[in-house]
Homo-oligomer: A and B are copies of this chain.
Amino acid sequence: MAGDPLSRAFSALADPTRRDLVARLAAGDATLTQLADSYEVTVQAVSKHLKVLEGAGLVSRSRDAQRRPVHLEAEVFDLMTKWIERYRRMAEERYRRLDDVLAAMPDDSGAAAPQTSKGEAK
């Protein structure tokens, strides 16, 4: 489970069971076993899913005797929204203007680095 924060966040939400867990937790905190019997997989499998969500910072866990209630955290969701919205906006903008044809330049024989790009845009 490595990678930068955005990779971990997107990867965590790429699984439908995990998105369902998020939806379920949005209604209120819950423990592993409470969550687990909403699914057909084993408790251990759900435990792994929670660990992925926790590793992505999307949920946090407290302690209550032998129970470990899971709590939804808003911050990383915000990080994702900001990333997505940036490019959604740009894509829409360019669609409005129809200036795409200009951007895709003729292709100059190979040399002269075509704007090196790189960088997640801080």
Residue numbers of A with Cβ under 8 A of B are 3-4, 6-7, 10-11, 13-16, 19-20, 22-24, 26-31, 34, 37-38, 67, 69, 71-74, 77-78, 80-81, 83-88, 90-92, 94-95, 100-104, 107, 113-121
Contacts and interface: CB of A to CB of B under 8 A. Distances in A.
A92 B104 contact: no
B100 A74 contact: no
Nearest to A101: B29
Contacts of A22: 87
A80 B71 contact: no
B81 A20 contact: no
Pick the 4 closest A-B CB pairs, nearest first: A28-B103, A77-B88, A11-B14, A74-B91
